[in-house]
Every structure is written in C-alpha cells, then in structure tokens.
A and B are shown apart, each in its own frame.
Chain A
Amino acid sequence: MAIMLKRMTLIIPNLIGVIIVTFLLTRALPGDPAAYFAGPAATKESVEQIRKSLGLDKPLIVQFGSYVSELAHGNLGTSLTTGQPVLTEIKNRLPASAELTLFGLILSIVIAVPLGILAAVKQGSWIDHTCRIVATAGVSLPVFFTGLLLVYVFYYILGWSPAPLGRLDVFASAPTQITGFYLIDSLVTGNWSAFRSSLNQLLLPGLTLCIFSLAPIARMTRASMLTVLSSEFIRTARASGLDSRTVIITYAFRNAMLPVVTTLGMVFSFLLGANVLVEKVFAWPGIGSYAVEALISSDFAPVQGFVLTMAILYVALNLLIDLLYGVIDPRVRLEA
C-alpha cells in the first residue's frame, strides 16, 4: 500500500509535464485551424471571427491558462472535426481500442508463450526454428499491410470473414453498454447475436495485432526460459527426479515470468500505437483513428485529450506491472 501511494505521488509531476508538452506541441503544429474550419468560401473576416470564437487570438499563456482550468473541471474541449466533446468521444472510443488491443494481446500470449517455452526446452529443434521464423516474419510485416492482406484473403477472396466495417455487423445492434467491451457486455446481457457479430469482427484486426506482437513475446519467453533452465535449482529439481512438466511449468516458467511481464507491458503500449493503422484499415471506431484525423486537421483539443489519456494509461500500466512483479516474485517486493 505504501509503495503504491509513493508511486502515485510520482505520477503527478509526470502528468503535469505531459500536459505542458502536448499543449506546446499542438500549438507548434503547422496549419491554422481557424482557416481550415472557416471552409473554402471564408473571407478574412470570417476566419478572424472563427479564430476569436475558438479563443486562438489570445496569447499562448492565456490559452494555456484556460486549457488547464477547463481540464481541472474535467472538460477536455470540443473536437472541431467531429463536433463532439472530446471527453465523450474518448469515453466511447477507448473501450473499442482497448478491447481490440487486449484481444490481440491475449491471442498473442496464447500462441507466443507456449511457443517460446517449447523453443527453449527443445532448443535447436524444428520448433525453435519455427518460433524464429514466425517471430521474424511477424515483426517485419507492417501492421497495415498484414491487415490489408488478411482482409484481401479472408474477406475479399474467401468470404469467410465479415465486412471490415468496425465493431459490429451493420445490421446488428450494439449490446447494452456496461463496460463498453462488446464481448463482455453481450455475454453479460446474453445477447448472443451481438456476441457472435463482435467476435467475428474482432478476429481479423485481432489477428493482425497478434502477428505483429508475437515476436517480442516469443523471443523474450525463449531467452528468459533458457537462462532459467540452465540455472542450478533446475538442475537440482531434475536430479531430484521431478517430472519435466513440473520442472518446466512450476519452477522454471514462474521464475522466467518477470522479464516476460515487463515485455508484455511494453508490447501492450506499442500495440496501442500500432492500433492507429489497424483501426484505419478495419474502420474501427477507436481512439487511434480519432487522434490521427484530428492531427491531420490540426484540431488541438482531441490531440491533447488523446495524448493525455495515453499518458495516464501508460502510467497506470507501469504501476500495474510493478505491482505484478511483487506478486510473481516476492523478492522484488522486499527490495522496493
């Protein structure tokens, strides 16, 4: 508990830094939102009018002041491209991105961890080589390419997959909102058609992210397993006649998990980044595509909101991983 509190206090300067930097960075973007949103037929006066109504005519420090005070009231501003309050948009879109990312990550763990363990146990065998090839291929294919390729094969040619049109089939209705995760919400409410539809829609983008993230997880599992397997307590365990299943899973893997969990945290963060492209390809209504749209039209509020949300997410994730360390390996807890 004390550790957690201490960590929490460290978060605050981090976030303040993020707020200042994003504010300055968005203002440094080329492009004039007032001219952009005044439309093609705007006169100089109407551009000025819009600039005034957006508060962009005031000095930077005043703009920053009003931004911070709005922020303190939980108001992230309004997006000009979508016309909606940023907070509502992020609230609606974050679950979509999170569901996709987690789905991809879980899929990836399910494949990569056993693959990594097997590759370490049977070092130099065909499984080890398969692991190496799959990892290399996965990491060297850009996500948008894998995405388009999967759509082309499974939707366009084979017709197995549903149309890449976001989270649900066009004619299915969304489950009652509880967590915002369609899979969970539809399970809880027993809405099976929505469950099926959202699972079908998730498969291809999830697979895309999974392929991309196989490499670091599989390689890290393998490397860390190799180190542990060659250590003395494993030799002792084997010598004591424990069966190899117990040795590998109970003793070796548990001790090899620490670096794997660290990698998972990292992979999760960069999957959130890779999401941007996957969301574009699959018309996924997540925050990545939202942020890119906003960036293209120099729409400040959503960009700031996005970066801030991401920063909070990363900080929370780091905290979670640190706490997990303690659960996995009590020694870490003591040292902290």
Chain B
Amino acid sequence: MKRRDFLKSAGAVAATAAVSAPSVIDTAKAQSRQETMLIVSESGPNNLDIHGVGTNVPGYEVSWNCYDRLISHEMKTGPSGQPYYDKDKFKPELAEDMNVGDMSATFKLKKNAKFQDGTPVTAKDVKWSLDRAVSVGGFPTFQMAAGSLTKREQFVVVDDHTFRVDFARKDRLTIPDLAVIVPCIINSGLVKKNATEKDPWGLEYTKQNTAGSGAYKVSSWVAGTEVILERNDAWVGGPLPKTKKIIWRMVPSAGNRRALLERGDADISYELPNKDFVELKSAGKLNIVSTPFSNGIQYLGMNVKNAPFNNPKVRQAVAYAVPYQKIVDAVLYGLGQPMYGKAPGAATQVAWPQPHQYNTDIEKAKKLLAEAGYPNGFETTLSFDLGFATINEPTAVLIQESLGQIGIKTTINKIPGSNFRTELNKKVLPLYLNVFSGWLDYPEYFYIWCYHGKNSIFNTMSYQSKEMDAFIDGAVTAAANGDKATYEKDVKGFVDLAFTDMPRVPLFQPYSNVAMQKNVSGYQYWFHRRLDYRALVKA
C-alpha cells in the first residue's frame, strides 16, 4: 500500500469510528459519571501510608478513606449549617464497643470486619498497627505521643476480638488521639509478607498499596497526576458509601480548576484562591462551603529572645499597628474569622481561638514604642513562606506599610517553601507570618505546643514564662481529673497572659473552602480538613 493510500484509508476508518462510536460510549460514560466523583486539587499524595517517611497532607486524605480506626467522631451541625465533626462524641468504626475505664480502654472488634483482601481483622492487627505508629518515628510517632501513647506495652491483645489500650497517665487527649488519622488499622499479615529485613514495618509496600479495611481502596495511582479509588463493598465500618469511584486529578493551575468547576466537568475542588471562592459564591452556580479552621490561627510571630522584640511593649505596639480588618477584607476577601477587637471589659472565654483586645490604633502603638525606648522605631525583616504566597504576600505588604507608620522599617524576606521550615526551626527570624492548627481541638493542646516553656518546634517565638507554664500544666491536669473550675480558671489565665505578653499576634482564623457542584452533597468538615469520600453523594 502506498503511503498516500494508507493515510486516506486510515482517515476514512477514523471518520467512521468517530461517527459510530459515541452512542455506546456516551451511555456508559453517563452511567459511570453518575457513580464517579471527579475531584481536582493542586497537589496529590507522595505516599499512600500516613506512617511513611515524609508523607504529605494529600497522603493523609488517602489514609483517612482507605483505612479504618477503632473509633471515629459523630457529626454535628457546623457554624454555617454544614456537617461538622463532633469532637466530644465518638462512634465505633472497627470497634463495636468501647469501654473506657480509669487507666485503660477496652475495645470489642466487629466480628465481621475484613481487610480488603478478605482476611478478618483481629486484635493482633490492631496491636501491630498501633505498635507501628509509635515505633516508625517522625510525624506518626509524634502525633501518638500527643495523646500519651508512646510505648508498645500500652497496646494489649486480650483475645482475637478484644483489644485494650493502657494509659500511660491520665490524659484526656488519649481517646481523641485514637480517632485521628494516624492510628489506622493495617492488614499486618499482608504487610509483614512484603516487609524486608531493612524495612521491618513494610513501609515501602504500604507506600504504593493500601492494605486496610476501609471504605475505599486505591486501584491506581500515578504520582503527581491522578489517584483512582474504588469502593470496598464489604466495608463494615459504617453505611456503604454512595459513590462507587473517586477520580482525583492533580490540576496545578488554579484558573483551570475554577474553569473545570464552572463548566461542570469537575465535581469538587479545594485549594482555590479566596478571590475565586468569593466570586464563585456570588455567581451562585456552585455550592461553596467555608469553615473556620478548628483550633487554627494565622499569626505574626516575633522572636522574643532578641532585641527589640524581647520587650513586651514593642510587641504590644506591633499588635496595635497591625491592620486587622484590612487583611480580612483585602487579602481574604472576607473568608476569614477576625481575631481582634474584643470589647473592653468583656470576659475572656474558655475557648480557643478567641479575639484579643487589640485594635488598629497607630497613636497608641507609637506611644508604646516610645515608652519601650524606640521613639524613632527600628529596622527589621518580615519573613514568610512563599509556598502560601497568595495569602502571605499581601498580608506582609499591609503589615509592612502599617509598621512603617510607627517607624518600624521592615524588609520583606520571601522564603521558598522548601526552605521555610528550616529557617523557622532555627528560631532566629525576628518577625514572620505562619499558621498553626491542631488536630485535637482543645485550648490546652494549642498552648502546649505553641506557648509552653518546653519550647516545642511550634513555639517559634522561643517564648518562656514560668507563669504561662503553670497555667498550661494546671489546665492539663485539671482536664485529666475532670476538675472543671480549675480548668476554666487556668484556660482563662493562659489566654489572658498570651494576649498581654503578645509573643505572637493572632491575625485571623483561616477558612477551609470547598467548592462543589450543586448536585453533590454530603461534604463534612473534619479536623484534618481533607475530604471524607464516604459521605459524598451525587444526585
């Protein structure tokens, strides 16, 4: 056959195929489209196992949906009517019954629970999984320790379907810590088979494969491109999810994610700039759900070890100079909870986050700065993480301008995402923007990490105060013993002190924003702020 003839006939075949194919494909397509949820986001997982080394946040989402925990949270109604996890109410997931005693908790496992390869879930698997979480090091071990779960001896197999957790000490965070993502139950038999001497916990295997009993399993994963999850029809952890298949595509360009939503091609997206969310909301074609980060705050941190920020008056002056409302309006487009301007004389609440008593008041700021011995101000640098530049950059510029009015000249220091944490951990940046949010939504949890003198990595200011430590330790003990009066007194104590000493200025409580098609329902807000596919429904 000559080349030209070949091209001609190929063209003809292509044309007939193009005409005849659609009718079949489109019905199949429509049907699968109905049972499939297409999610688009900026980045995808780098590891399917939260116990892995350096698993990123998208990886948590996979773990949450593919693995079960012993217990999970009930839902309640959130601030704008959306389903919101209830931090105080637990429901069994792999366990059918939880019995919390004085120094231990006993769990009865569901007898019909099976891993996705068909092997039954036993107490041995539970022990192996929790042992793994406290042993692999890094983030999972750290998170377990936050609930006083540190030693393998704390996890006891009573019989095949009964499992006990012994408490290291009285800590009210122990039970909530069993409902976070980390203590997921893994198919120990399957993973052990794929473990090697160098890798006794089989981290290499679970990096690429899901080995759980959860509602979904990953059927295909092309790193950086897409993740496809299929429903596990034998799931017993809860009511069978309505969505059969989840296609999660990585679309780096925010503009395209928005276009995909508006054209109706994508079902759900998060990680859009606030401006887009506001515009989409007012256009009314999509459902936009905005929820304040639970236990999270964006703040302006100051290094209190070195001059000039070692002077509380300087820090208060800064707190009076920050243009709070401008940041909420111009940077967040209103999608953020203001954290300033508590009415004078209003009582401090037993809650966190809560607004502080400062307002933007340049005169007062100037006066405080003069009292501190800096009538003409000083020069410093203001650093931020370039990875979150859409929020950080305009915020930094507004603060720079405002501080300029009281004589503090700031140079803006943009640090690339890969380097920001390194710089922050050195604890030498004089002035910087950062976010902290805790999975466990308790005021003392936030304060242990961010303000306590044991100087955790999140106490980025190197703040040290005996008085503060006493309040925090008091609240922790009081919570463990159920001493409500002392607890409330201590919480108010540490909040008041944090606002007087002001080592970091809370700017606002960020919102977690999700945009979805009108026919998609069942979005739930979780402490981890990722999607729970199990509740999603497409009409």
Contact = CB atoms under 8 A, between A and B. Distances in A.
Contacts of A280: 252-253
Contacts of A155: 259, 263
Contacts of B412: none
A259 B266 CA distance: 47
A30 B224 contact: no
Interface string B248-263: 0111110110011011
Interface string A176-204: 00000000000100001101100000000
Contacts of B138: 38-39, 42, 46, 49-50
Contacts of A40: 421
B425 to A, nearest CB: 6
Contact of B249 (A47, A283, A293): A283
Interface stretch (B10-18, B105-113, B326-334): B10-18
Contacts of A159: 263
Interface stretch (B25-33, B87-95, B293-301, B354-362): B25-33
B85 interface: no
Contacts of B45: 83
A35 B143 CA distance: 17
Given A35-B422, A40-B421, A152-B259, A82 B223 contact: yes
A35 B223 CA distance: 22
Given A46-B142, A289-B224, A192 B54 contact: no
A43 interface: yes
Contacts of A53: 53
Contacts of B47: 83
Contacts of B10: 187
Contact of A192 (B17, B38, B263): B17
B160 interface: no
B347 interface: no
Given A30-B416, A37-B54, A83-B46, A171 B33 contact: yes
Given A30-B416, A30-B419, A49 B137 contact: yes
Interface in A246-278: none
Interface string A199-218: 00000000000000000000
A164 interface: yes
Tell which of B36, B138, B141, B418 has the most Cβ of chain A within 10 Å.
B418
Interface in B392-430: 416-419, 421-422, 425
B227 to A, nearest CB: 12
Contacts of B418: 30-33, 36, 296-298
Nearest to A96: B225
Contacts of A293: 224
A80 B54 contact: yes
B25 A80 contact: no
Contacts of B141: 46
Given A80-B46, A187-B10, A156 B252 contact: no
A281 B421 contact: no
B247 interface: yes
B139 interface: yes
Contacts of A39: 54-56, 138-139
B233 interface: no
B251 A165 contact: yes
A81 B46 contact: yes
A136 interface: no
A290 interface: yes
Contacts of B457: 41-44
Tell which of A37, A46, A165 has the most Cβ of chain B within 10 Å.
A165
B49 to A, nearest CB: 10
Interface string A150-165: 0110011001000111
A175 interface: no
B210 to A, nearest CB: 14
Contacts of B419: 30-32, 36, 298
Interface of B: 10, 13-14, 17-18, 21, 25, 29, 32-33, 36, 38, 40, 45-47, 52-56, 137-139, 141-143, 207-208, 222-226, 247, 249-253, 255-256, 259-260, 262-263, 265-266, 416-419, 421-422, 425, 457
Interface of A: 30-33, 35-44, 46-47, 49-50, 53, 79-84, 89, 92, 148, 151-152, 155-156, 159, 163-166, 170-171, 187, 192-193, 195-196, 280-283, 285, 289-290, 293, 296-298
Given A151-B256, A298-B418, 19 more contacts: A31-B419, A33-B418, A35-B425, A36-B419, A38-B139, A42-B142, A42-B421, A43-B142, A50-B53, A80-B54, A81-B224, A83-B45, A148-B255, A151-B259, A159-B263, A192-B21, A196-B18, A285-B224, A296-B418
14 contacts: A30-B416, A33-B418, A36-B54, A39-B55, A46-B138, A80-B46, A151-B259, A165-B249, A165-B251, A165-B260, A171-B29, A171-B32, A187-B10, A195-B17
